[in-house]
């Protein structure tokens, strides 16, 4: 799969940053909320980028798509977040073609997750895919790639035990709470924020702690009421946050604000309080640590915890990787078919021209020329020749790109046109990416 240029003069890239090199504070700067993601997609469309998806989660902000140069994609993130190009250079990555494909498979199957086997990311990729498709930003290759990754994720989940037990930050949070707080079933738990992570954490709290004293607060009360109705929990008004904080033994913050929603100024504590901040950017101010009653834990700390479940999951990595290789082979076969189809069509057209010219010559030369029979024979010969070439190009032991180049050279067919100059002036932005 050496050449993925289904878009003329453009390369397939995966660019972004993740928990591997960027801590929660830096990831927060590059985080894109729903509005910012849509803005970035529209900006991409206006700038001539034809196919891409954007994912932004608590652990990563990444773009997969076609561009003339990776900086076009980096610029989309920086223009729509609080991150800068200089910061991106320190913690970001740029993969292209096969490396970009490999990365997407590992991300989508939970092998690159902060907690091994966390499959929540595949749902986020699906959502990003649907939004890009609704804007006409998905070409044939990206459509096939994402659907293959989705199928691979399903296979790994069904055929291995890499997702056995807890496989998400939300469960790790609950696991930490249960290990840290005695008699958790009788403690007051306050969940502030009922977005995706908040919902998942809440469901795990109900399931594993058997606690009936869980209170939900969300800026939009109706959102919290939907979750509370499903789990039979109590909802309080956002205006009652200060009062509920004083009652809580455990506070889980999963809000999506750009600035801290909890700081020491609103905490008037008379007993210990465990705070888990599951937000990106961080939504709990570091100054809460000044209060002796407070223990503050962030999701990056949760991901560092290792237990028997995680160790067992690691044993299933080879099986998961084998499934990935199997599915990548299927993608490769499809891709090669897409790649050589235009060449075979052009070859057939060239042979038709040769036959037509020869028929014209023979028609003038022979008085008893059987035109119908000659056309039939010519057509059968053309089909046999093109079939031979197609079968050759399907052989996984040959280089498709080299064979296509040879066919186009011998038969004087081709589709290449001079490459356009890169429109991004790298010097202007003080950045150089190969």
Catalytic residues: 58
Give the whole-angstrom CA distance, residue 320 versus residue 289. 41
Give the whole-angstrom CA distance, residue 178 versus residue 187. 11
Give the whole-angstrom CA distance, residue 75 versus residue 47. 11
Torsional sign, CA 241, 246, 250, 251:
positive
Q: Which residues contact 4 (CB under 8 A, 6 or more apart)?
A: 11, 12, 97, 98, 101, 141, 335
**Using an 8 Å Cβ cutoff, are 355 and 384 in contact?**
no
Characterize 72-103 residue by residue with b for buried, 16 or more Cβ atoms within 10 angstroms of its Cβ, and e for exposed. Answer: bbbbbbbebbebebebbeebbbbbbbeebbeb
Q: Quick one: tokens of 174?
A: 């609950």
**Using an 8 Å Cβ cutoff, are 87 and 36 in contact?**
no
Give the whole-angstrom CA distance, residue 115 versus residue 135. 32
Give the whole-angstrom CA distance, residue 55 versus residue 57. 7
Angle at which helices 400-410 and 371-394 cross, to 10°: 150
Looking at residue 236, what DSSP letter applies? Answer: -
């Amino acid at each position: 799969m050496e050449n993925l240029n289904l878009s003329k003069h453009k390369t397939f890239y995966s660019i972004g940053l993740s928990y591997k090199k960027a801590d929660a504070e830096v990831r927060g700067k590059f985080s894109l909320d729903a509005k910012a993601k849509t803005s970035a997609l529209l900006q991409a469309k206006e700038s001539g980028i034809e196919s891409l998806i954007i994912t932004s989660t608590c652990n990563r902000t990444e773009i997969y798509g076609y561009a003339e140069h990776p900086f076009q994609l980096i610029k989309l993130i920086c223009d729509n977040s609080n991150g800068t190009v200089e910061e991106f250079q320190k913690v970001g990555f740029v993969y292209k073609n096969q490396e970009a494909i490999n990365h997407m498979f590992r991300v989508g199957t939970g092998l690159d997750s902060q907690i091994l086997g966390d499959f929540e990311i595949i749902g986020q990729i699906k959502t990003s895919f649907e939004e890009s498709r609704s804007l006409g930003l998905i070409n044939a290759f990206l459509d096939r790639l994402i659907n293959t990754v989705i199928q691979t994720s399903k296979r790994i989940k069904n055929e291995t035990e890499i997702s056995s037990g807890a496989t998400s930050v939300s469960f790790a949070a609950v696991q930490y709470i249960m290990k840290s707080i005695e008699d958790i079933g009788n403690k007051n738990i306050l969940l502030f924020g009922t977005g995706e992570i908040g919902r998942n954490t809440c469901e795990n709290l109900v399931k594993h702690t058997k606690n009936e004293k869980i209170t939900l607060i969300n800026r939009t009360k109706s959102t919290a009421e939907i979750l509370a109705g499903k789990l039979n929990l109590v909802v309080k008004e956002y205006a009652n946050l200060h009062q509920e904080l004083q009652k809580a033994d455990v506070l889980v913050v999963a809000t999506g604000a750009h600035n801290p929603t909890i700081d020491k100024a609103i905490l008037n504590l008379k007993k210990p309080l465990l705070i888990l901040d599951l937000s990106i950017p961080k939504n709990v101010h570091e100054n809460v640590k000044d209060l002796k009653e407070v223990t503050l834990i962030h999701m990056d700390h949760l991901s560092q915890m290792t237990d028997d479940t995680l160790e067992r999951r690691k044993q299933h990595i080879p099986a998961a990787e084998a499934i990935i290789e199997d599915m990548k082979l299927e993608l490769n076969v499809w891709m090669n078919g897409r790649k050589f189809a235009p060449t075979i069509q052009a070859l057939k057209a060239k042979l038709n021209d040769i036959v037509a010219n020869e028929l014209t010559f023979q028609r003038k030369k022979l008085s008893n020329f059987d035109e119908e029979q000659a056309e039939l024979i010519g057509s059968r010969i053309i089909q046999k020749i093109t079939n031979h070439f197609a079968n050759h190009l399907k052989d996984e032991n040959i280089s498709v790109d080299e064979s296509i180049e040879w066919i186009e050279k011998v038969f004087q067919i081709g589709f290449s046109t001079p490459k356009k100059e890169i429109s991004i002036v790298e010097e202007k932005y003080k950045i150089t990416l190969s």
